[in-house]
Amino acid sequence: MRYHGHTVDIERTMQFILDHQVRHEIEIADIRRTMAENHATMAENHARADSEMAAIRQTLAETTKVQLEQARILVRIEDAHRELAAAQQVTEQKLQNFIDNLGRSTNGH
What DSSP assignment string belongs to 13-45? HHHHHHHHHHHHHHHHHHHHHHHHHHHHHHHHH
Domain boundaries along the sequence of the chain: 2-108
Question: Which residues on adjacent β-strands are paired with residue 6?
Answer: 3
Q: Which residues of the chain have pLDDT under 50?
A: none
pLDDT digits (tens, 9 = 90+) for 43-62: 999 999 999 999 999 999 99
Residue 91: the pLDDT is 97
Instruction: Determine contact, residues 82/88, Cβ cutoff 8 Å.
Output: no
Please state the φ and ψ torsions of residue 8, each to the nearest 5 degrees. -105, 120
Separation between Cα atoms, residue 29 and residue 35, nearest integer Å: 10
Determine the 3-state secondary structure of 39 from DSSP: helix
pLDDT for res 9: 87
